[in-house]
Structure 1
Amino acid sequence: MQNGEDSKNPLERYLGATIRELRQRHGLTIAQVSEQAGISRGMLSKIENAQTSTGLDVLNRIANALGVSMSTLFRRFDVPEGGAQLVKRGEGMEVVRKGTKRGHTYHLLAYDQGPKKLFEPFLITMDDESETFPVFEHQGTEFIHMLKGVIEYRHGQQTYILHPGDTLTFQADVPHGPERLIKMPIQFLSIFVYGEGDRD
């Protein structure tokens, strides 16, 4: 059926484009694929251009000729468009937190997440040794992952020496913060995870 209503079918357009893309990616001609699939070149051309509909048996033979599974033909159909937030290196919003001192930089890596924030990821850099450090208390759970340097970090009565690759997870309503900068520059990810009722 040429240029009929079926040519407007999004599934047929999707399948046609997918078959053409796979065929070209594998360096195959319409003649080669149609011969392997046991259909005419004209039929394969119409399928690729969404000018005709076809049954599952023919699609299965085309998939075999392309060397892929049937599921491969459909895997990206009707997938939500998505809307991930990309923050490029160095473009995180710099924020000032309570107790922040010179040499302590906080970059918020994701924001505008809706009326109720579920998490806040920060990239924290410390490159200026200081005699006093801020102490933080806030709702939720905090997850720290060390990237550079060595730091002694306090949570309540306990202190922990963190090296690159180390992680520390704790309840954030207990007083916490840097105790001692051992090797600079220091950089770590700090992710606040909020539960129901943690934030308005």
Structure 2
Amino acid sequence: MFLLSKELFFPPVTYANEDGLLAVGGDLSVERLELAYKNGIFPWFNEGEPIIWYSPNPRMVLFPKDLKISKSMKQVIRKGAFKVTFNQNFSEVIANCKNVYRPDQGGTWITNEMQQAYIELHNKGIAKSVEVWLNNELVGGLYGIDLGTVFCGESMFSTVSNASKLAFIYLVQKLEKENYKLIDCQVYNNHLASLGADEISRDAFLKYLEN
């Protein structure tokens, strides 16, 4: 594990341990976060902990063409009860991702410091959001880092059934039209696997970032 200083630098991702833990320390400046994502690295830590940086191997990704939409979700889309917008209310999306109750988790990993850092990234045009509305109320959404041809998903939330899944589907469909290579989902989870995401090697993922 590498200890970072104030210098704008990350060690090679091959230094990461088997859990993907690469480095500790540094800061959450726009410049460092942008450098991190461009090199397949992201912060992940809890309130009260030092900043911890990860680069897992394998990497969970979704190629837009591989998106799977279930019959039930197709019905939800056809009904048209939800409205989906892009990059219209980033601060509310990240606030909901931070505060929404998650029964399978003990708390949030989005610290106050991290929340403010990603709002700064949004202000620079680097972090983007998807919003899902029902009766003019924000009921779901997601946010992530837009690298131009790769979108790095960070977190999603839902206060009604299917809202976060709908946000993800609309994002993937939008990015496919814009010829994005893939959506970075970081680490495996069953929810994203059901939507078509799969694991690739870190080396393969880094090649997509380089290209």
Using structure 2 for the length normalisation, give the TM-score: 0.24
Q: Which structure has the higher relative contact order (CA within 8 Å, separation 6+)?
A: 2
- The structure where helix makes up a greater share of residues is 2
